[in-house]
């Protein structure tokens, strides 16, 4: 009998959906939930758009800065006059040679660090002059300032070399005594 009973219920399966749902209430709930999903999706899209905008702005700013830097780096006194260009090349070479001498002299520790700090400071000043040169044109004050930067660098390096020499002599004398 049980099999007959089961078969009977199976055949009635399609008719068992007798309870009517409260469609209005249920659909309202569904609508609200789906609205939340849409709002969340829109918020996420907005957030993504803002992030994208920030990234692209950042990239654009970096590109502009790098471009300006590149222009500044390529700019030299050669752009103004041949004579100034030659003068600048001479100073650059002198600085390089002097720095080589420092390396060979074995300057270390405090003296070396102090020299490097001073050179960096002069480099910063030099960059400021170069920016001014591009923005304001080749005014004599600026040009003087640039040449002075090279002179100062050479003086700082020479001073360090002298100090190293002095130290060497002092150590030798101490050793003899």
Partner 1 sequence: MAKVFLPSVPTFGKTVVFLLNKTDLTANIPDINQELIGLCIRGDRVAQYRLYKQYSRTMYNLCMRMVPDKSEAEDLLQEAFVKMFRELPSFRGQSTLGAWLRRIVINQCLNHIRKKRPVFVALDDREVPEIPDQDFSFNDISADEIHQAIMRLPEGARVVCVLHLLEGYRHADIAGMLGISESTSKSQYRRAVNLLQECLTKKMYAGQI
Residue numbers at the binding site for partner 1 (CB under 8 A): 1-2, 4-6, 8-10, 12-13, 15-23, 25-27, 29-31, 33-34, 37-38
Least separation in angstroms between CB 45 and partner 1:
13
In the complex with partner 1, which residue's Cβ is closer, 4 or 174?
4
Minimum Å distance from CB 39 to partner 1? 12
Question: Nearest CA to 163 among 111, 98, 92?
Answer: 111
**Nearer Cβ to partner 1 (22/171):** 22
Calculate ∠ Cα 85-90-93, nearest 5°.
125
Separation of first and last alpha carbons in the chain: 126
17/135 with CB nearer partner 1: 17
Which of 169, 156, 177, 70 is CA-nearest to residue 113? 156
Residue whose CB is less far from partner 1, 34 or 53:
34
Question: Smallest gap, in angstroms, from Cβ of residue 9 to partner 1?
Answer: 6
Nearest Cα neighbor of 134 from 68, 85, 65 is 68
């Amino acid at each position: 009998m049980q099999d007959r009973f089961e078969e009977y219920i199976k055949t009635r399966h399609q008719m068992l959906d007798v309870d009517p749902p409260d469609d209005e209430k249920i659909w309202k709930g569904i609508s609200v939930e789906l609205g939340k999903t849409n709002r969340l999706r829109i918020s996420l899209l907005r957030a993504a758009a803002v992030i994208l905008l920030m990234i692209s702005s950042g990239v654009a700013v970096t590109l502009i800065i790098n471009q300006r830097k590149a222009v500044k780096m390529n700019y030299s006194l050669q752009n103004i006059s041949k004579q100034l260009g030659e003068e600048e090349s001479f100073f650059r070479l002198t600085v390089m040679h002097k720095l080589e001498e420092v390396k060979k002299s074995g300057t270390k520790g405090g003296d070396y660090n102090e020299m490097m700090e001073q050179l960096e400071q002069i480099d910063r000043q030099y960059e400021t002059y170069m920016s001014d040169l591009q923005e304001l044109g080749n005014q004599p004050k600026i040009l003087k300032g640039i040449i002075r930067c090279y002179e100062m660098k050479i003086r700082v390096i020479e001073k360090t070399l002298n100090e190293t020499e002095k130290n060497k002599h002092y150590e030798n004398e101490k050793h003899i005594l």
